[in-house]
Structure 1
Amino acid sequence: MTATRPFFATCPKGIEPLLADELRSLGAEMVKETRAGVAFEGALTIGYRACLWSRLASRILLPLASFPAPTPEELYAGVQTIAWKEHLAAEGTLAVDLTTSQSAITHSHYGALKVKDAIVDQLRDEFGVRPSVDTAQPDIRVNVYLLRDQATVSLDLSGESLHRRGYRTQTVQAPLKENLAAAILLRANWPAIAKQGGMLVDLMCGSDTLPIEAAMIAADIAPGLAREYFGFTRWKQHDAAVWAGLLDEAHQRRETGLTQLPPIHGYDHDPLAIRAARDNIKRAGLGNLIVAQQRELSDCTPEQSPTGLVVANPPYGERLGPGSELPALYTELGTQFKKCFPGWRGAVFTGNPELGKVMGLRAGRMHTLYNGAIECKLLHFEITPENAVVERAPKPFEIRPGSSAEMFANRLRKDLQHFGRWARRQEIFAYRLYDADLHEYNLAIDVYESDKRYVHVQEYEAPDTISPDKARQRLQHALGVIPLVLEIPREQMFFKVRKRQKGGAQYEKLDQTGEFHEVREGPCRFLVNFTDYLDTGLFLDHRDTRTMLGQLAGGKRFLNLFGYTGTATVHAALGGAVATTTVDMSYTYLDWAQRNFELNKLAGNKHERVQADVLVWLKENRQRRYGLIFLDPPTFSRSKRMEDTLDVQRDHAALIADTAALLEPGGVLIFSTNLRRFKMEREAFAGLHVEDITRKTIPKDFERDPKIHQCFRITRK
């Protein structure tokens, strides 16, 4: 146990210096910061201690080997140089995670399969039996990092991300990860404040992550103490005696620390959030030690403690809409800081630091941290009269002659004249007005003519060649110009940042306003939502595709796979389909689809909605037959309810074959994908006729971006 081993701790970007200090305090040696992680050395005990005590790490990895792997064959061979019988029983279980960057092997799932095959084949050849895969709680979890064709193979001692402390089962929208919450508190100097008996108050506590992490820090509670699973407990080299000793020590420190816990309060206006907070507090074993109370921000009252830390993680979204809500919220937050917490320290974590300027307090320090991929700022305040700032009323936005804003305004006017006239002539009530027509303004702007004119603005992620400051300045200019040119009040403009999506990220909830607006499309009426999700519920680039489906549907049974909000189904039903089936994994979107059906007076048993994993549903319903099928899968999807991942490039041949098997004689399958580099494997479709109809399905307002989707008509030969 005294042998020194190398380790690597992963963490969110921006936390590396804090993690390095934490690992040193745990006894780690040769500590070295890298991007999104820290390398260190020590006895195996140090690795165990890091798993148990690190508040900041995501995973603790034990590197086993590093070797060149420019090809799948060399990756397989390199993995086989490791003596896996020293780590895993032949009949045991394993899981493999692989990340690749700047390497010839670009498909992480395929690379992980090669690693798994190398391990399984080695053990089967030696022992005659093979381990099995368990992605939930395997005996060992293997982590492979491919960087510039160099593979590093490690054991994941944590087993699953260390931010999962074991206390949070109840949550709210967009919760902070526990290790990010701990980083916020450490940066805000909470340990020193707690030692002095200072109080902690979270004015927007949500599910109470910040207060619970604050209590664990103040009471010297090991963050991993409540976890039921680590990645080393069934590892063949596991030292159970050492681990038991560490647990005993942690339990003793917890008992002592709880007697010294300062007051910790969490408030939130949402009763569901407070219910979740209380459940989480109870699961953390802190039942009567943290106050969680429903309270409006404006109902804040002065606390009795003369010193303490007041924290807030206010919503910052990636959109403006309604325009006045967020600035007003931040202004109120600053007002309550000054009214209720004079002499305290304040910390506000936000992805929109510009909003921090309306709080009326001067930030003394600022740290950059990342909430997932979003760059955020942690603003630190000394709440004193000297740091109060009197804000001047903002000036109305003006388009200065000769400025880049004027250039953008002129282009927008030209597009409005062109596409606005076309849309009115075609009776189109939702259309793309502007699509990054000027590279300086990398936006997509959609107009929705409902009871009022609404504008949905999405900013494409800026390229690395554009400085963040310049991109932010141009965005502010654009958001000032758009309402002026389109003659709408700012609250009818909604803004989001569109980044490269992973998994089902484009379907994840951003807000919960529940506010819908009705918009017409041909004979159909649809409900759209501008705030709660990245997309509005209506994919405008498929307008012509939906029209075509309506024209083909007469007298046929219609199937809509990955049905989303059911807009294609509504077109088919109003086009004369005798029955429809809409399949989607999401209850939310199926409920939305039902509301669209009701809006179009489509009722009755002939319009079936099915909540299911489409891949499983296809296998379980092979006896069904349809005359018309629409298949529009996500580019990549992974869900806890799905039995497997879906990668449209890798899986489209099997997916299309399984779907085409449900066609009745003479039936038509319309397949679409928005994967820009998609290549149809036509040779895989013996017995099927595949016709590329992409050009016929790209509407006029999307002709500037002909790669917005690809579309194919598939029939039996």
Structure 2
Amino acid sequence: MSRYTFFATAPKHLGSLLAEELDRLGLTGAVEARGGARFTGTLEDGYRACLWSRVANRVLLQLAAFPAPGIEALYAGARAIPWEEHLALERTFAVRFDGSLAGVNNSQFPALRVKDAIADRFIEHCGRRPNVDPDHPDLLIHCYAYQDSAVIALDLSGGSLHRRGYREEGSAAPLKENLAAGILLRAGWPASAAEGGALLDPMCGSGTLVIEAALIAADIAPGLLHQDFGFLGWAGHQPAIWERLIDEAEIRRTAGLNRLPPLRGYDASPTAIRVAIACLERAGLAGRVHFERRELADCWPGREEDRGLVVVNPPYGERLGTDLDLPALYARLGSLLKERFVGWRAALLTGNPDLGKQMGLRAIRLHTLYNGPIECRLLHFEVDPRYFVSSRPRPLAPEQRSEGATSLANRLTKNLKALRKWLKTQDISCYRLYDADLPEYAVALDIYEGESRCVVVQEYAAPATIDPRDARRRLREAMSVIPEVLEVPETQVYLKVRERQRGERQYERLAATGRFHQVAEGGHRFLVNFEDYLDTGLFLDHRDTRRLIGQLAADKRFLNLFAYTGTATVYAARGGAAATTTVDLSRTYLDWARRNLDLNGIEGLGHELIHADCLDWLRLVEGRRRFDLIFLDPPTFSTSKRMDETLDIQRDHAALIRATVRLLEPDGTLIFSNNLRRFRMDAEDLSELEITDLSADTLPRDFARNPRIHNCWRIRH
């Protein structure tokens, strides 16, 4: 039986993994080589590599190796190959060249000369030559030259083997299938799957990692769906061998599907999930893997007893997301793992290893991989308290701090002294103490006096011109000074990163501690949460706006749109409103609003909470309901997954106000607010309405330093 030399190409830095895989396939003698792995064997061995390799890009069958000190030597060596034994005249061919050849600067020229050699050989021996098809040849020939030597080989795989056949060409997917398989093999998924371990990708995109994990766990040959293998156009192809291998693979697939462990993929994008489900169906795995639209904060193990691998390829600033968003994203991912996946392992691919440090987990090992041209690190974690690292900045001892830290301490003391009498007179227990008063310490600091004093520190994302190390040091100084000046334990100082938010991001859950604290404002009681969300549930800059609503509410039918946690409803109800209606798209915040109402003794059928898209609800009730007092506080921009349209408050505010005013009694009042700092009211377009700017009148004293944080208008017919 003839033996051949084969070369399997692999993505950069996966050559050793490919050699190990080929060895496991029974292709003995596989060794890593430049760009992949080399092995010798029968034609069946070459076919087996094409069918079963999860890592290889291509499998090449070597036809000849010869000295090639120049272009004519390359031509002569190529012409000496008996091409009439490999290619029928009615078939087409193409030549690809890689490497370098002495005296040649144009890489297309060696490919052209090899093509000429093949054509001349055919004309000499057959009287005519086969045609060239550069795009879809029946036989693809590879030529590689390096250090005055050349190798010419047949491409048995045809197209790249990473194209399994389940993903539509052109679909958005950041990972090629063989890179995804390489990640899973590096992460030890085959052994975990064999033991019944579960797998979860909480940011699955089009589902490539999860589908490749299913193919591995079910012992499904990745080449079963691959189309147009190169050997099908080769004159030396032996169909009987290939058919036997396919039959064997089908038997193994049928047996393997019956032992699939739990595999789940979640993503916040419904479009991504639709693509993932379509890929799953084309892979023949429909109903055997679970894909679902979920926010990151809603990801849990499928069953409490599940253990296994969390594998994720989050954005890292090259293709998706913005650099400003990413540190907080990685911190949320790390918190998720530490809170819910103890006992699991995790593997994370990132093109920015510094982002991995935000996770608060110490990697136990790493591998270097390339995602296309991007050099990446595959970080491996054991989700075990032994490896937990606090993402909270470590405090600095007094002798380690700069003079700026002293200035910050003095400013906090000064602000506290200036506000103390006013806070006592106004009976205010939740307030802003500091808002980037010193530009180098770019944080906002809010105090919440409840059962005990708690402090929320919001770090503004530093501009790109600031060295991240300087920004980190100043944050460490701030986090060292704040507990000392305010006499609070470090455990009661909560740090958040304040970023540019779009859509529902400002309301997105960051964690799931479920720890609520009770605070008071204006004689009312509210629940706040310092850990699970970017905002606490109580917008402090709306304090005077809420007070105004309470003053206007007596005997009024009150409507609260985009109601969030219902704090304005509490003011209206306790201000004597005849009835209240609270509308929000989030069940979470409506439940929170209900708890706030209960906390203040507000109950009964006259206080309804409605779960709905406010835009849809306005259209639904137009002409059917009227209100005397309406509070309209929409987000700046919304692209909620459950909304059929986007809301851009600068673009859409006139239409939104008109739609709301249609529910207003003739003598009613609409209070409209938003927090878009560059917002401009289009009074000319709304000339039929009486609009009064209340921004200055409703701006609390503790927010006076930054008045653009708050916009508010009274609108009447």
* DSSP-derived class of the 2:709 partner: coil
**2:25 is equivalent to residue 25 of structure 1:** no
**2:689 is equivalent to residue 688 of structure 1:** yes
1:579 aligned partner? 579
Q: How has the CA–CA distance of structure 1 residues 397 and 213 changed in structure 2, closer, same or farther, with 3 Å as cutoff?
A: farther
Q: How has the CA–CA distance of structure 1 residues 312 and 542 changed in structure 2, closer, same or farther, with 3 Å as cutoff?
A: same
2:485 aligned partner? 485
Residue deviations 1:524-553 (CA, integer Å, cap 9, x gap): 111111111111111111111111111111
Structure 2: distance between partners of 1:525 and 1:182: 56
Deviation for aligned residue 1:643: 2.9
Structure 1: distance between partners of 2:701 and 2:604: 36
Letter of the aligned partner of 2:213 in structure 1?
A: A
Q: How has the CA–CA distance of structure 1 residues 357 and 559 changed in structure 2, closer, same or farther, with 3 Å as cutoff?
A: closer
**2:397 is equivalent to residue 398 of structure 1:** yes
Letter of the aligned partner of 1:436 in structure 2?
A: A
Letter of the aligned partner of 2:57 in structure 1?
A: S
Q: How has the CA–CA distance of structure 1 residues 51 and 574 changed in structure 2, closer, same or farther, with 3 Å as cutoff?
A: farther
Structure 2: distance between partners of 1:320 and 1:399: 30
Q: How has the CA–CA distance of structure 1 residues 660 and 216 changed in structure 2, closer, same or farther, with 3 Å as cutoff?
A: same
2:473 aligned partner? 473
| TM-score (norm: length of structure 2) | 0.58
* DSSP-derived class of the 1:555 partner: coil
Map 1:271-310 onto structure 2 (within 5 A): 285=288, 294-295=304-305
Letter of the aligned partner of 2:708 in structure 1?
A: K
Deviation for aligned residue 1:26: 7.9
Letter of the aligned partner of 2:546 in structure 1?
A: R
Structure 2: distance between partners of 1:518 and 1:182: 52
Q: Is the contact between residue 190 and residue 216 of structure 2 (CA under 8 Å) also seen in structure 1?
A: no
1:673 aligned partner? 674
2:568 aligned partner? 568
Q: Is the contact between residue 319 and residue 494 of structure 1 (CA under 8 Å) also seen in structure 2?
A: no
Q: How has the CA–CA distance of structure 1 residues 327 and 196 changed in structure 2, closer, same or farther, with 3 Å as cutoff?
A: closer
Structure 2: distance between partners of 1:321 and 1:197: 26
Letter of the aligned partner of 1:285 in structure 2?
A: R
1:546 aligned partner? 546
Deviation for aligned residue 1:184: 7.5
Q: Is the contact between residue 583 and residue 614 of structure 1 (CA under 8 Å) also seen in structure 2?
A: yes
Letter of the aligned partner of 1:668 in structure 2?
A: T
1:214 aligned partner? 213
Map 1:9-20 onto structure 2 (within 5 A): none
Q: Is the contact between residue 399 and residue 406 of structure 1 (CA under 8 Å) also seen in structure 2?
A: no
Letter of the aligned partner of 2:458 in structure 1?
A: Q
1:652 aligned partner? 653
Deviation for aligned residue 1:185: 6.7
Q: How has the CA–CA distance of structure 1 residues 528 and 389 changed in structure 2, closer, same or farther, with 3 Å as cutoff?
A: closer
Q: How has the CA–CA distance of structure 1 residues 294 and 575 changed in structure 2, closer, same or farther, with 3 Å as cutoff?
A: closer
Q: How has the CA–CA distance of structure 1 residues 666 and 256 changed in structure 2, closer, same or farther, with 3 Å as cutoff?
A: same
* DSSP-derived class of the 2:708 partner: coil
Residue deviations 1:539-570 (CA, integer Å, cap 9, x gap): 11111111111111112111111111111111
Structure 1: distance between partners of 2:473 and 2:331: 19
2:592 aligned partner? 592
Q: How has the CA–CA distance of structure 1 residues 220 and 463 changed in structure 2, closer, same or farther, with 3 Å as cutoff?
A: farther
Q: Is the contact between residue 267 and residue 294 of structure 1 (CA under 8 Å) also seen in structure 2?
A: no
Q: How has the CA–CA distance of structure 1 residues 390 and 499 changed in structure 2, closer, same or farther, with 3 Å as cutoff?
A: closer
Deviation for aligned residue 1:483: 2.0
Structure 2: distance between partners of 1:217 and 1:367: 20
* DSSP-derived class of the 2:713 partner: strand
Q: Is the contact between residue 449 and residue 519 of structure 1 (CA under 8 Å) also seen in structure 2?
A: yes
* DSSP-derived class of the 2:555 partner: coil
1:142 aligned partner? none
5+ residue gaps, structure 2, are 1-34, 37-53, 60-93, 99-133, 139-156, 226-244, 265-276, 291-300, 315-325
Structure 2: distance between partners of 1:469 and 1:318: 16
Deviation for aligned residue 1:438: 1.8
Structure 2: distance between partners of 1:657 and 1:668: 13
* DSSP-derived class of the 2:707 partner: coil
Letter of the aligned partner of 1:399 in structure 2?
A: P
Residue deviations 1:44-66 (CA, integer Å, cap 9, x gap): 999x99996499x9x96xxxxxx
Q: Is the contact between residue 444 and residue 458 of structure 2 (CA under 8 Å) also seen in structure 1?
A: yes
Q: How has the CA–CA distance of structure 1 residues 418 and 474 changed in structure 2, closer, same or farther, with 3 Å as cutoff?
A: same
Deviation for aligned residue 1:451: 0.4
**Bigger shift: residues 531-540 or 416-425:** 416-425
Structure 2: distance between partners of 1:30 and 1:695: 71
Q: How has the CA–CA distance of structure 1 residues 203 and 261 changed in structure 2, closer, same or farther, with 3 Å as cutoff?
A: closer
Q: Is the contact between residue 563 and residue 584 of structure 1 (CA under 8 Å) also seen in structure 2?
A: yes
Map 1:229-240 onto structure 2 (within 5 A): none
Map 1:442-453 onto structure 2 (within 5 A): 442-453=442-453
Q: How has the CA–CA distance of structure 1 residues 201 and 313 changed in structure 2, closer, same or farther, with 3 Å as cutoff?
A: farther
Deviation for aligned residue 1:686: 3.5
Structure 2: distance between partners of 1:618 and 1:632: 14
Letter of the aligned partner of 2:477 in structure 1?
A: H
Q: How has the CA–CA distance of structure 1 residues 197 and 444 changed in structure 2, closer, same or farther, with 3 Å as cutoff?
A: closer
Q: Is the contact between residue 523 and residue 574 of structure 1 (CA under 8 Å) also seen in structure 2?
A: no
Q: Is the contact between residue 320 and residue 496 of structure 1 (CA under 8 Å) also seen in structure 2?
A: no
Structure 2: distance between partners of 1:492 and 1:30: 64
Q: How many residues align?
A: 502
**Bigger shift: residues 405-414 or 571-580:** 405-414
Residue deviations 1:363-419 (CA, integer Å, cap 9, x gap): 5567899xxxxxx97535899xxx99999xx99641236443333333223223333
Deviation for aligned residue 1:521: 0.8
Structure 2: distance between partners of 1:457 and 1:619: 40
Deviation for aligned residue 1:475: 2.2
5+ residue gaps, structure 1, are 1-19, 32-40, 61-156, 164-178, 226-248, 269-278, 301-308, 370-375
Q: Is the contact between residue 330 and residue 359 of structure 2 (CA under 8 Å) also seen in structure 1?
A: no
Letter of the aligned partner of 1:691 in structure 2?
A: T
2:664 aligned partner? 663
The structure with more radius of gyration: 2
1:713 aligned partner? 714
**2:418 is equivalent to residue 418 of structure 1:** yes
Deviation for aligned residue 1:658: 1.3
Structure 1: distance between partners of 2:573 and 2:389: 59
Q: Is the contact between residue 690 and residue 715 of structure 1 (CA under 8 Å) also seen in structure 2?
A: yes
**2:186 is equivalent to residue 190 of structure 1:** yes
Q: How has the CA–CA distance of structure 1 residues 409 and 537 changed in structure 2, closer, same or farther, with 3 Å as cutoff?
A: same
Q: Is the contact between residue 694 and residue 711 of structure 1 (CA under 8 Å) also seen in structure 2?
A: yes
Map 1:322-401 onto structure 2 (within 5 A): 353-354=356-357, 359=362, 363=365, 378-380=378-380, 397-400=396-399
**Bigger shift: residues 203-212 or 665-674:** 203-212
Structure 2: distance between partners of 1:625 and 1:564: 21
* DSSP-derived class of the 1:697 partner: coil
**2:437 is equivalent to residue 434 of structure 1:** no
Residue deviations 1:447-498 (CA, integer Å, cap 9, x gap): 1111011111221111010122322232233223222222222221222212
Letter of the aligned partner of 2:288 in structure 1?
A: G
Q: How has the CA–CA distance of structure 1 residues 396 and 437 changed in structure 2, closer, same or farther, with 3 Å as cutoff?
A: closer
Percent identity at matched positions? 43
Structure 2: distance between partners of 1:553 and 1:30: 79
Q: Is the contact between residue 537 and residue 565 of structure 1 (CA under 8 Å) also seen in structure 2?
A: yes
* DSSP-derived class of the 2:500 partner: coil
